[in-house]
């Protein structure tokens, strides 16, 4: 079998409302799908992390940089292909966009392998430790409005996510420490005292400001404090973890096993959040997961993007060993964006129906059982939303 073509599909549509996080506001939804074709008619699908113009730039890397390197190679030789591409791109960036682009290609190669073997991805990875996973719903995105108004909105939205049936919820912060604490207090009011909620700062704070917010989160009994400081601030992560009782989590902007090794050796995380569509794909994810577990650091995957990303992560969560093993083990959760996302809800020929599963299965989502990642995109849908770039 040989790789004959790689196609990047960058999809985009105008969102019904402007949303934001600590770094920016946005009014368009983007997804970057990667299609790898073979001479035996088997096609694999993957996804690259990165919105907007980042997706357009990654499309160029996939099609004009990576494709010429691997055309004619056997797609089953995933590890050979991964290292060939990484080694040739090493001088041009050991993380960031080159790794995001490689991630989409690598996921598609694993999809091909599963289809060739007629096995779901979790079987290729060694089997499923669980047949379903709890799912948390994130929302409470920032809007350009007074904090008091946003706090009222957050309180209502948090209550709604809980009522839908999600096992936990996550909110955004980014207006500054004092205003952000008000927003966190509103979410706690919305969900009540016993429900798990998490806070995502998207690296908005200095270490001192993160301590201010983190101490408030301890009082509010938040479950975790995500990306409190910049991903480069490894000492800041370690200092926060030593000084706070709320779980310190992060890792979505950490690429490849070597960067993960440094972060884990600094003991900066209570929970790790690798992003398979960014760090180097499934091949590199398995190595990062092994590193996390070698450091006894549990993992809750970061999930952002289309139904391709969601399906891929469901398999990865299923194949994740318990850490530590016990009669009632700690469980990873599926992250689910509750805001408008047509590329998640309408992309597939057979939708995953995450929200319906959450409602009907006590907050849990089943693992796909089809070959590969177990889903197929609707080409008519892709053609309708694909942009030329």
Catalytic positions are 302
Q: How far apart are CA 211 and CA 387, in angstroms?
A: 43
Structure tokens at 200: 């995502």
Is 35 in contact with 7 (CB distance < 8 Å)?
yes
Structure tokens at 197: 């909620």
Cα distances (Å, whole numbers) of residue 378 to 10, 290, 307, 345: 14, 34, 11, 12
**Which residues contact residue 233 at a Cβ distance below 8 angstroms, ignoring those fewer than 6 apart?**
207
Q: How far apart are CA 83 and CA 284, in angstroms?
A: 10
Residue with tokens 């050991």: 94
Residue 49 region by backbone torsions, left for phi larger than 0, else alpha for psi between -120 and 50, else beta? beta
Where would I find the H helices in the chain? Answer: 52-60, 67-70, 78-89, 97-117, 121-124, 147-164, 177-191, 207-220, 234-243, 256-265, 276-279, 281-294, 307-318, 342-345, 354-360, 379-385
How many CA within 13 A on the CB side of residue 348?
A: 20
Is 112 in contact with 273 (CB distance < 8 Å)?
no
Neighbours of 322 (CB within 10 A): 15
Q: How far apart are CA 142 and CA 19, in angstroms?
A: 6
């Amino acid at each position: 079998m040989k790789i004959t073509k790689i196609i990047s599909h960058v999809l985009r549509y105008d969102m019904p409302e402007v949303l934001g996080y600590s770094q920016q506001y946005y009014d368009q939804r983007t997804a970057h799908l990667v299609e790898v074709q073979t001479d035996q008619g088997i096609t694999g699908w993957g996804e690259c992390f990165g919105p907007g113009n980042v997706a357009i730039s990654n499309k160029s890397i996939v099609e004009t940089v990576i494709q010429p390197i691997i055309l004619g190679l056997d797609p089953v030789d995933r590890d050979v292909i991964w290292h060939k591409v990484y080694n040739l791109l090493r001088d041009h960036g050991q993380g960031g966009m080159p790794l995001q682009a490689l991630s989409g290609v690598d996921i598609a190669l694993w999809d091909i392998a599963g289809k060739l073997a007629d096995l779901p991805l979790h079987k290729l990875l060694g089997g499923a430790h669980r047949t379903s996973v709890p799912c948390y719903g994130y929302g409470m995105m920032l809007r350009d409005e007074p904090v008091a108004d946003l706090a009222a909105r957050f309180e209502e939205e948090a209550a709604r996510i809980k009522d839908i049936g999600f096992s936990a919820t996550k909110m955004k912060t980014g207006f500054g420490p004092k205003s952000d604490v008000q927003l966190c207090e509103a979410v706690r009011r919305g969900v009540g005292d016993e429900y798990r909620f998490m806070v995502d700062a998207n690296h908005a704070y200095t270490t001192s400001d993160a301590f201010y917010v983190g101490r408030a989160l301890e009082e509010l009994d938040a479950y975790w404090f995500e990306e409190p400081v910049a991903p480069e601030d490894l000492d800041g992560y370690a200092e926060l973890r030593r000084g706070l009782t709320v779980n310190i989590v992060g890792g979505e902007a950490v690429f490849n096993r070597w960067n993960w090794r440094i972060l884990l050796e600094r003991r900066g995380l209570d929970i790790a959040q690798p992003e398979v569509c960014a760090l180097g794909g499934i091949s590199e994810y398995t190595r990062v997961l092994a590193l996390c577990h070698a450091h006894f650091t549990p993992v809750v995957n970061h999930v952002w993007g289309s139904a391709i990303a969601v399906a891929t992560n469901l398999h990865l969560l299923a194949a994740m060993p318990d850490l530590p093993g016990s009669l009632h083990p700690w469980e990873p959760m599926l992250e689910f964006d509750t805001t408008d996302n047509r590329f998640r809800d309408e992309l597939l020929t057979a939708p995953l129906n995450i929200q319906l599963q959450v409602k009907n299965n006590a907050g849990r989502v089943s693992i796909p059982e089809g070959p590969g990642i177990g889903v197929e995109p609707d080409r008519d849908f892709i053609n309708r939303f694909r942009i030329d770039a």
